[in-house]
Chains A and B, each alone.
Chain A
Amino acid sequence: MPDTIYTIVNAHSTCYHCGENCEEGSLVFDDKPFCCSGCKTVYELLGENNLNCYYDLNERPGTSQKNNYDSAKFNWLDDTESVKKLIQFNDGKVAVATFFVPTVHCSSCIYLLENIYKIQPAISKSQVNFLRKEVRITFRTDEISLRKVVELMVKLGYEPQLNLVDLEKAKTTISTQKYYLKIGVAFFCFGNIMLLSFPEYLGLNSLSEHPMHKFFGYANFLLALPVLFYSAREFFVSAFAALRQRSLNMDIPIVLGMIAMFIRSSVDIFFQQGAGYMDTLASLTLLMLVGRLFQNKTYATLSFERDYKSYFPVSVSVRQNGIEQTIPLSKLAVGNKIIVRNQELIPADAILLKGQAMIDYSFVTGESNPVPKEIGEKVYAGGRQIGSAIEMEIMKDVSHSYLTQLWNDDVFKNKEEASSAELANKMSRYFTPIVILIAIAAGVYWFPTDIHRAMNAFTAVLIITCPCALALSTPFTLGNVIRILGRHGIYLKNTFVIEKLTKIKTIIFDKTGTITNKRDLNVNYKGAALSDMELVYIASLTYHSSHPLSKKIFNYLNGIKIIQTKDFLEIHGKGIEGWIDDHHIKVGSVDFAGGTDMVDDSTASTVHINIDELYKGYYEVKNEYRAGLNELMNGLKKDYELYILSGDNDNEKQYLQELIAPDHLLFNQQPIDKLTFIKEMQNAHHQVMMIGDGLNDAGALMQSDVGIVISDDTNNFSPACDGIIDARKFERIQSLMQYSKTAMRIIKASYTISLLYNLIGIYFAVQGTMSPLVAAVLMPISSVTIISFSSLVSYLFGRRYDFQ
């Protein structure tokens, strides 16, 4: 591109509202430039309501209003049943609804959304949760409808994402609240028990007759009760559950130790034999709770549980007897005639009856170039209509449509997940019996000489071997790993995914959207050279079109000045045209642009240019393979079996063969085929990881042992999976695999350390003379050692794999 054009760029103004480039001669209001009338309207609206502060807090905080929404899009919000589902609370006068608003991004957004009542007095309160990108709105139902609330938000540039699944889902806040409470109680008790135990450590022993001694003991006993019966409850629950299933998990020896500590301490306190181990009990419970909290890292705005319902509309417009009405999706039946508007999803397989269909299947296949459809053609569910409204007749139920029938597979039914740390439980299988044996042996050894000492030895072994340090190494290592990965655009559902990753032998890739790139462009121009001004014309024209190819070309010409276009026209399925500076510009298909014989590369889309009735040439827009794909494939090849399953035809076989063996390449794979393929692999005892992106991979992602989704925009929905990787971090998959393996090695190493501590402890314990101070020092030290070791080493290895 010629350099001269950039000089013009700098003179550009950006929209005062949204910061997008303004067209030359665009709107100026209040001495401020606006890119479109939408942005200007918002500015005026805020000004009228004294909300100008919106622009003071941050510069250009708005979202572009260029794509005017179609009001009919929210027709379904008039349907009372749908509304009922969206509203959390309604007493007939006041209603509360919580919306997920992905465009929330800065303090201005919080400011505006929380002051929305100044614009619409029927809204009595709105509260933003910035991290969750949620807005909770309270409004008076007799003055305003939910639809009006949503439309106001859309008008301001804060379109909520509405789907029933997210709303029906129970909030996770309750469980984290419980953790905070448990930790708070444990911390309070721990602090005060420590305080009251200090005299013991520091020599109140000499004053053991002193009333204070007893007082401290009883107070400690009282303070330990909430720790044992409230804070530590879940360990008991888990241990008993395991016992009922006749298996051994890590919580069993922990609970044994806790019970031993509590009973032994109570006896000590009430019979004045010593101070007991309540301090140790409290500190360990506290540490383990913190560990669990640390392990349960969640991403507030990501969901790993979505199925197709998240993508599909809540209700649809149906034409019955010539009248259009909105019905809930669940009531949609075969034979219904539905109306699908611009940007709406087709909910079920249907036949096109009326209108110009241009279907974008990017949700399903990852392929973003829309496909034109003729009347009478079959259109599959999951496609998105682009352009004017179309009318169609439903052929299949929603759940039996081409795409959605995937969810009828059994794999979606047994959602029960074995989400437990296998390594730890395996340990426990040996650990628990050995500990009990040692304890009994110590007891038996002392029994003939000194019954009291025998009891002491028995309980002391159980106390000192309470494998808290052991239990802490997994949450702290994996919790830390998951955080480090999260900072680098790799979001895992939970820590167990890491453990599963280490067992993977086979990796299966989807092609379109997964190993190819939707965002980055491979655009080439072929034909007669274009002058600088001609490039400006093309950019100015494509600027007005929302067609993906237009957008790609506009982005490709990025940074060029835009000038005003007159008589812009978009001809469905053909192209766009318009007048600029008295030149007639046409951009579109070969026929439209009047191109002649062309060597068409079948893998690429072409966009042809005609200026002043003169054919110029064409842009070739190719799917680009993701950066680093070669290196990634070559790297993974050494340790894993790789497959590529593509829904497309085999015209890229040539290239892909260079990456992996031809018999590992499968084309024309239907979603159900992918699922079956993985099932077969698993039946042959392969641990399979599936890497995909779209809904068409949903079955495969679910069936695989680890399903990973590549996503260009993590704010967008992605199908149910175990992890989401930001597409820009695609090439880091190998580091992810290596890092996971290292993490498990770190855990094993910390097991060794903590077992060493246990050995030291047992040395004291079997003699039956272990003092509470030894336990109070040794056990927290071992826990803290493990926590620091696992956190530090996992951090260092993170750096080694370039996760800094």
Chain B
Amino acid sequence: MSVLFILIAASLAIALLFLLAFIWSVKSGQYEDDYTPSVRILFDETGKSKPVNKTKSI
């Protein structure tokens, strides 16, 4: 089962890579705000002018 060496080494290397990615993401403040980004993605294509909804007059 020596192929396991390769699989474990490869998996550990990838896991380590992800760990570094995780450290980077926390350190760079990616997770300081864990709500606003989810709202922000809803905006991106609405930035352009759109016809304003007509509401009933008084």
Contacts and interface: CB of A to CB of B under 8 A. Distances in A.
Interface of A: 13, 16, 22, 28, 30-33, 47, 50, 52-53, 55-57, 107, 110-111, 114-115, 127-132, 173, 177, 180-181, 184-185, 188, 191-192, 196, 212, 215, 219
Given A13-B58, A33-B58, A188-B19, A129 B33 contact: yes
A92 to B, nearest CB: 24
B24 to A, nearest CB: 10
Contacts of A31: 54-55, 57
Nearest to B4: A212
Given A53-B46, A114-B43, A184-B19, 13 more contacts: A13-B58, A28-B58, A31-B54, A47-B52, A57-B46, A107-B42, A110-B40, A127-B36, A132-B33, A177-B27, A192-B15, A196-B8, A219-B8
Contacts of B31: 177, 180
Contact of A56 (B4, B16, B32, B53): B53
A111 B58 contact: no
B23 A130 contact: no
B8 to A, nearest CB: 7
B53 to A, nearest CB: 6
Contacts of A185: 19, 23
A184 B25 CA distance: 11
A296 to B, nearest CB: 15
A52 B50 contact: yes
Interface residues of chain B: helix, strand, loop or mixed (majority):
loop
B26 A181 contact: yes
Pick from B4, B19, B48, B58 the residue with the most CB of A within 10 Å.
Answer: B58
Given A107-B42, A173-B32, A184-B26, A50 B55 contact: no
A interface SS class: helix
25 contacts: A28-B57, A31-B54, A31-B57, A50-B47, A50-B49, A52-B52, A107-B42, A111-B43, A114-B43, A130-B33, A131-B34, A132-B33, A173-B29, A173-B32, A177-B26, A177-B27, A177-B31, A184-B19, A184-B26, A185-B23, A191-B15, A212-B4, A212-B5, A215-B5, A219-B8
Contact of B50 (A56, A107, A173): A56
Interface of B: 1-2, 4-5, 8, 12, 15-16, 18-19, 22-23, 26-27, 29, 31-36, 39-40, 42-43, 46-50, 52-55, 57-58
A213 B44 CA distance: 53
Contacts, number: 92
A651 to B, nearest CB: 49
B48 A55 contact: no
A37 B47 CA distance: 26
B48 A50 contact: yes
Contacts of B42: 57, 107
Contacts of A110: 36, 39-40, 43
Contacts of B39: 107, 110, 130
A181 B18 CA distance: 13
A613 to B, nearest CB: 34
A60 to B, nearest CB: 10
Given A47-B52, A180-B31, A212 B46 contact: no
Contacts of B1: 212
A129 B29 CA distance: 12
Nearest to B33: A129
A53 B58 CA distance: 22
A192 B58 CA distance: 67
Contacts of B4: 212
Contacts of B55: 16, 31-32
A180 B34 CA distance: 13
Contacts of B35: 130-131
A130 B36 contact: yes
A247 B26 CA distance: 35
A132 B35 CA distance: 10
Which 10 interchain pairs have the tightest Cβ spacing?
Answer: A50-B49, A130-B36, A53-B46, A129-B33, A52-B52, A188-B19, A31-B57, A13-B58, A107-B39, A180-B26
A188 B15 contact: yes
B52 A181 contact: no
A110 B37 CA distance: 10
A212 B5 CA distance: 8
Nearest to A11: B58
Given A53-B46, A110-B39, A185-B19, A192 B12 contact: yes
A39 to B, nearest CB: 14
Contacts of B47: 50, 53, 115
Contacts of B19: 184-185, 188
A181 B27 CA distance: 8
Contacts of A177: 26-27, 29, 31-32
A322 to B, nearest CB: 49
A353 B26 CA distance: 56
Nearest to A185: B19
A640 to B, nearest CB: 40
B48 to A, nearest CB: 7
Nearest to A207: B1
A30 B57 CA distance: 9
B28 to A, nearest CB: 10
A625 to B, nearest CB: 38
Contact of A53 (B34, B50, B54): B50
B12 A184 contact: no
Contacts of A131: 33-36
Contacts of B49: 50, 52
Nearest to A115: B47
A30 B58 contact: no
Nearest to B57: A31
Choose among A47, A185, A188, A219 the residue with the greatest number of B CB atoms under 10 Å from its CB. Answer: A188
Nearest to A132: B33
Contacts of B46: 53, 56-57, 111
Contacts of A212: 1-2, 4-5
B14 to A, nearest CB: 11
Contacts of B12: 192, 219
Contacts of B8: 196, 219
B36 A55 contact: no
Contacts of B26: 177, 180-181, 184
A184 B50 contact: no
A196 B9 CA distance: 11
B57 to A, nearest CB: 5
A566 B4 CA distance: 88
Nearest to B48: A50
Nearest to B55: A32
Contacts of B33: 129-132
Nearest to B52: A52
B36 to A, nearest CB: 4
Contacts of A53: 43, 46-47, 50
B44 to A, nearest CB: 11
Given A53-B43, A111-B43, A192-B12, A184 B58 contact: no
